[in-house]
Structure 1
Amino acid sequence: MAQARDRDDVSDRIAGATAAEISESVRDLVDRGELAPGDHLPSVRALAARLGVNRNTVLAAYRSLVTARIAITGGRTGTTVLGPAQNPDEGFTAGTVLRDIGSGNPDAAHLPDLAAAFAGVEPAHVLYGESVIDPALAEWATEWIAADHPRPFRLSITAGAVDAVERLLAQSLVQGDRVGLEDPCFLSSIHTARLAGYAPVAIPVDREGMTVEGLRTALESGARAIICTPRAHNPTGVGISAARAMALREVLAEHPHVLIVEDDHFSLLSTTPYSSIIAPTHHRWALVRSVSKFLGPDMRLAVTASDPVTANRLALRLSPGTMWVSHVMQRLAAGMLRDTATQNLIADSGAHYAARNRAFVALLAERGVHAQGDDGLNVWVDVQGDTAEAARRLALRGWLARSGAEFALDQDGSTSDSHLRLTVHDLDEADTQRLVEDLATAIAGVRATGEGA
């Protein structure tokens, strides 16, 4: 990071009479390189006095800069310009010689054979203006969704769950709007909210899912949308219990027009029952189910069921003249989803992930390490100490782990920075035993260091 320059040196370059004008002035200075990463912005009081505006105007401008990840507020250090965002993302880490146990990937050995599936696809040209949804996929998806939501809904097909969530928020929110996200949170949801300029509101997650008090606080703060993972929450693996879902519905009953987006990404692989927080009387809602975890990450396709208003707005962003999902991809997915062998493989894969994660958690428990892997592809390990140090110690033993701090939405109030998220379901028995021993040793070292500090 460049050496920070004094606030007085940049104060006279910032102009504007409204929050939007002040924010745009700072953004322009950053774009032109006149404000560099690490530069301090003037204090709210000083800039307001120089520009002759109310302090709340400057405060609002700075908040928009923080929301857009152009600046960061650090208490006594004031507001500082950020450098290019280095956002962690899912998947393998490039350029490492370590064994990557933080990827969050499904096991390729438990995905369907694409070559065989392609052989059953009958290609046909689809022209501009024709239906954006393949009839066979629509029929299968309607039956699938209706089993859980026996109410009127409309289907949309998007290029994966992340694409669906991004489009759903874009048709309902504007920059600066608050959106409730789980904490810890799926990385892509964090990126989607911040890159679009929404203001994320952290809703804590416990062993029964999104907390009632957290949801209530988010709604009272003005959140206009809530993104929820009903099961196989990433990174913790928890699912929303039936009792918790009903309690969350009661809170949401007073906010029927707040958009609820359920990202049921694990769906057919899940060993946890689906308990929805979407009540039959809620007006604005969407259920998103991707196929990437059980048909393969390169199958960029998700099914979204939503209320008519939300569906109409979403349809404008998936018009038959521009942005539909390839019908070849849709026919491929429909063929696999109706294939008995693929259905059996999906069921076996879900059982495989659950069994491998349970076994790993049990082995750690024998060594005094608490972890959870209720559902999903990952295990959430409680280090009870410095996860950066735990990850460093694991790296010395040949393992690349992912720190829970990457998933923290509320950096000050989250417990994520005391956890590691590990993907262990594809390890053989020998590697599993070796990782358990190395992890227990690393955590013991971290705890001993912390106790001696």
Structure 2
Amino acid sequence: MDLDISGRSASEIADSLRARIERGDLHPGDVLPPVRSLADELGVNRNTIVAAYRQLTQAGVIVTRGRGGTRVADLSPVAQEGFAAGSVLRDVGTGNPDPELIPDLSGALAAMAGRPVLYGEPVIDPGLERWALEWMRDGLAPAADMRLTVTSGAADAVERLLAQALTRDDAVALEDPCFLTSIHTVRIGGYRPVPVPVDDEGMTVEGLQSAIEQGVRAVVHTPRAQNPTGASLSARRAEELRAVLREHPYLLVIEDDHFSLLSRQPFHSLISRGHRRWALVRSVSKFLGPDMCLAVTASDPETAERLAIRLTPGTTWVSHLLQRLTHALVTDAATMAAIERAGAHYAARNAAFVERLTNEGVPAGAGDGLNLWIPLPVPARDVSEQLMRRGWLARAGDDFALAGAGPSRRLRLTVHDLDDADAERLAVDVAAAVRAAGGRLVTREVA
């Protein structure tokens, strides 16, 4: 391919390449010339080409894939959580909590107002900080060195944590299959995702070891209710992973405990007492509602200090009104009882649907969390297309895959808000969709 690249300095070469991309001569995914060949062609030092590529990488225009070469960045949109806009189908792939189980805010709203907060004041509300200190210490080994930060939700926290530690094209270990927001955050940040397989006990030891060997600078993982699989770290797996991480104390470990108060599983952390770079993030969005954009991050002092710089009062601190509202709710006995009932509800409804589905010949298990991760004998896309013909909009596992090892045979379903009749109808329709897609059902033996 004749790209007609010109220039003698790094800036001139970078501008020439950017112009070709903007003009449409190069498209997302196209491979750029290797450093050595482009340097020879232009008659410049190889370091000049390296500097030009670095400028474009930092701008998010190109990405470096190691042996895969340097390519034009793909900026096409990625799948997002939530309802599918404009669909007339019954959406069972939303990943949303049940709005009927989100606590009523009206009483707390009336009680939480107080004096106005002015520039220069502490960014964390004192009441929320006292409560959060106990909340975040639960199950966390290095509590004595803990510092708190409040951000506008878990995604905001993870984005800031990565940004304060990494530069574009740094490698980040992500669970595979992966939470859609994590995929989006890493992609927009210009980082290089390294997939780590997840099984029923969480992130695999071999996968983490492989990611470390590939030079990851950070690890983002979910200790329980992993989205989309519902997997939670077992005590055994957590200890095995901690043993791996003890050899890499400066590797940034980010734990996103998004389901926290709703989880039916114990919390097992990857963070050991001697680890130097770490953060535990807990959001309130699953139990107080997605519009309550607030998360608390516990981290080592250095990470907390860097986060504080990115949350300077007067620019990006989280509203104290929102912090006071959160504190009023989580310290209310009736609200906490309602949250406990909600967690039990999600677990019971998911287990009941799995039983229905298994009875129809599609055996599955119920993990923790809002969703179900259904194994299929045929590609999930084929099943989801058949479900659309029956009035359902489901989420194929391909949306969550990082490694790209062929079509996914998993379906993620959000079923906890279905009544018994609709749940039974969906189970029957999933079985019919599997048959229509060429799959065989499993007949249960009757004792």
TM-score (norm 1): 0.89
Checking the alignment, whether the CA contact within 8 Å between 1:67 and 1:198 is kept in structure 2 is no
Q: Which residue of 1 aligns with 2:444?
A: none
Q: Which residue of 2 aligns with 1:245?
A: 238
Q: Distance in 1 between matches of 2:398 and 2:251?
A: 29
Classify 1:24/1:219 alpha carbon distance in 2 versus 1 (closer, same or farther; 3 Å): farther
2:302 maps to 1:301: no
2:275 maps to 1:285: no
Question: Which moves more between the two structures, 36-45 or 425-434?
Answer: 36-45
Classify 1:253/1:364 alpha carbon distance in 2 versus 1 (closer, same or farther; 3 Å): same
2:410 maps to 1:419: yes
Deviations 1:261-281, CA, capped at 9 Å, x for gaps: 000000000001000010011
Shift of 1:117: 2.1
Q: Which residue of 2 aligns with 1:3?
A: none
Classify 1:270/1:172 alpha carbon distance in 2 versus 1 (closer, same or farther; 3 Å): same
2:33 maps to 1:33: no
Classify 1:79/1:285 alpha carbon distance in 2 versus 1 (closer, same or farther; 3 Å): closer
Deviations 1:107-135, CA, capped at 9 Å, x for gaps: 00000012222122123210110010001
Q: Which residue of 2 aligns with 1:227?
A: 220
Q: Distance in 2 between matches of 1:227 and 1:161?
A: 12
Q: Distance in 1 between matches of 2:8 and 2:229?
A: 45
Checking the alignment, whether the CA contact within 8 Å between 2:79 and 2:180 is kept in structure 1 is yes
Q: Which residue of 2 aligns with 1:168?
A: 161
Shift of 1:411: 1.3
Q: Distance in 2 between matches of 1:15 and 1:367?
A: 66
Q: Which residue of 2 aligns with 1:332?
A: 325
- What code does the residue aligned with 1:118 have? L
1:217 to 210, 213, 221: 210
Shift of 1:363: 1.5
Shift of 1:146: 1.9
- What code does the residue aligned with 2:300 have? D
Q: Distance in 2 between matches of 1:70 and 1:112?
A: 45
Q: Which residue of 1 aligns with 2:4?
A: 12
- What code does the residue aligned with 1:367 have? E
Shift of 1:194: 1.2
Task: Name stretches of at least 5 consecutive residues in structure 1 with no aligned partner.
Answer: 1-6
2:347 maps to 1:354: yes
SS of the residue aligned with 1:120?
Answer: helix
Q: Distance in 2 between matches of 1:70 and 1:87?
A: 17
RMSD in angstroms over aligned alpha carbons? 2.9
Checking the alignment, whether the CA contact within 8 Å between 2:57 and 2:169 is kept in structure 1 is no
Checking the alignment, whether the CA contact within 8 Å between 1:67 and 1:199 is kept in structure 2 is no
Matches within 5 A, 1:95-106: 95-106=86-97
Q: Distance in 2 between matches of 1:184 and 1:351?
A: 25
Aligned length: 435
Q: Distance in 1 between matches of 2:147 and 2:322?
A: 20
2:110 to 92, 104, 119: 119
Q: Distance in 2 between matches of 1:186 and 1:363?
A: 26
Shift of 1:368: 2.5
TM-score (norm 2): 0.90
SS of the residue aligned with 1:311?
Answer: helix
Shift of 1:106: 0.1
Classify 1:391/1:28 alpha carbon distance in 2 versus 1 (closer, same or farther; 3 Å): same
Q: Which residue of 1 aligns with 2:358?
A: 365
Question: Which moves more between the two structures, 42-51 or 96-105?
Answer: 42-51
Matches within 5 A, 1:313-328: 313-328=306-321
2:195 maps to 1:202: yes
Classify 1:231/1:42 alpha carbon distance in 2 versus 1 (closer, same or farther; 3 Å): closer
Deviations 1:147-204, CA, capped at 9 Å, x for gaps: 3224321110000000000001111111111111111111111111111111111111
Checking the alignment, whether the CA contact within 8 Å between 1:238 and 1:373 is kept in structure 2 is no
1:131 to 122, 143, 168: 122
SS of the residue aligned with 1:371?
Answer: coil
